[in-house]
Amino acid sequence: MGKFKNLLLNKINIMLGAVLSMLGWSGCDEVFNSEDLYGCPYSYYQLEGAVLDEEEKPIVNIRVATKWIFSADDNFSKTDTTFTDADGRYIFFTQDGYSDSVHVVVDDPQHGTFAPDSADVRLIHTGLHSDETWCSGTYVGKADFKLKKRD
């Protein structure tokens, strides 16, 4: 009798599932009144700054490395590297999951003229994008550095 009961309940569950899926039954629409979204929410990030020497002159071709932390327990991060331009400026753009800070390291590996420096930058939320339902907005940060020459 137990096998027959389990078989009957299994068949009823399959038929009910088929009927509900044909009717387009959705449990979330009545509660949240929104469309279903799949994937991970994302944000846009922009970090910029300048690297100057002690006389406040721009330093060209200094390496700027970033470590973006996208998890509270530090098990997902993203690193990126760029070099300063002729005006000593750098800029990063990225799109990823949520982060509110970035670690920035500047150094001079090619010539070794300048001592390295680093900073933790807190990112500021500048607002949401009205056309993006899955985007949590844009975060910006700025980090300027004044490097000292090595002895």
**Amino acid 143: pLDDT:** 96
Domain interval for residue 22: 2-32
Residues 7 and 49 in one domain: no
pLDDT at 21 exceeding the cut of 70: yes
The CATH number of whichever domain residue 129 belongs to comes to: 2.60.130.10
**Within a domain: 53:** yes
Residues 8 and 71 in one domain: no
Q: What is the pLDDT of residues 23-80, one digit of tens each?
A: 765 555 555 555 666 667 788 889 999 999 999 999 999 999 998 876 655 556 778 8
Q: What is the pLDDT of residues 89-107, one digit of tens each?
A: 999 998 887 778 889 999 9
Count the alpha carbons within 13 Å of 18 in the hemisphere toward its beta carbon.
6
Tell me how far CA of residue 88 lies from CA of 64, 115, 117, 123, 151, in angstroms. 11, 16, 15, 21, 22
